[in-house]
Structure 1
């Protein structure tokens, strides 16, 4: 079984180096997160994923940068992704997340997960009033 290894800049091919350079330029840092170092085992996947993340998480749009990070963090918590929880907690904190905001976010994540599972278990039908044609 092949166990993927981190692809450091010095060992990367030109496609990967271009993505790494774009990550550095976009984030204004010399640091390349581990996710990118491991995704570089598949250069096409690395490039596609970076382009998507860069587009979705870019400033601008209807959601402010902190809200985007909080949504990403909430999904990461629900999916139990330790790596993403750590990286997006850090990013959210850098964009203004306080301990109070994190506490409220955790209350919402916990409640949503609880009620989602209750609704799924009870097989609760969706109320007709919530249907798009009734809006």
Structure 2
């Protein structure tokens, strides 16, 4: 029987992590309040530079509070946006990860349905506007 593959590369086990990778793994667990390192980060750990770049950017944008900053968007709003983009992009891994996050932040199943309805609505209306090549006529303020 073939072994189950989790990715196209062998994931770095947390017990194998040393140096910068071990430090980033510890930061991920502390920042995200997890007791394990998700597959995504274990795959990125095969290239420590990429792991550091992606984690640093994600932490700054998705977890500004962990860096002593106050984001203008609350954590639930940031995760809803991440979920909406993930659904639009069709990333099963990301959909599951961000659905878990929004549920952990208090979004109930009914509200999750509303999020998916908004995603579906605007994927459709965006396709219509693109298909007809409609010129914009409503603009945001420039301030």
**Which runs of 5 or more structure 1 residues have no equivalent in the other structure?**
none
Equivalent residue for 2:123? Answer: 113
Equivalent residue for 1:36? Answer: 41
3-state SS, counterpart of residue 9 of structure 2: coil
Give the number of equivalent residue pairs.
Answer: 131
Question: Counterparts of 2:80 and 2:55 in 1: how far apart (Å)?
Answer: 19
> Out of 10, 15, 34, which is 1:5 matched to?
10
1:1-135 residue pairs with structure 2 within 5 A? 3-58=8-63, 59=65, 60-127=70-137, 129-130=138-139, 132=141
Question: Counterparts of 2:124 and 2:33 in 1: how far apart (Å)?
Answer: 39
**Which runs of 5 or more structure 2 residues have no equivalent in the other structure?**
1-7
**TM-score, normalised relative to structure 1:** 0.89
Question: Counterparts of 1:28 and 1:89 in 2: how far apart (Å)?
Answer: 16
**TM-score, normalised relative to structure 2:** 0.84
- Runs (4+) of structure 1 moved beyond 4 Å? none
Indicate the structure with greater helix content. Answer: 1
Deviation at 1:85, TM superposition (A): 0.2
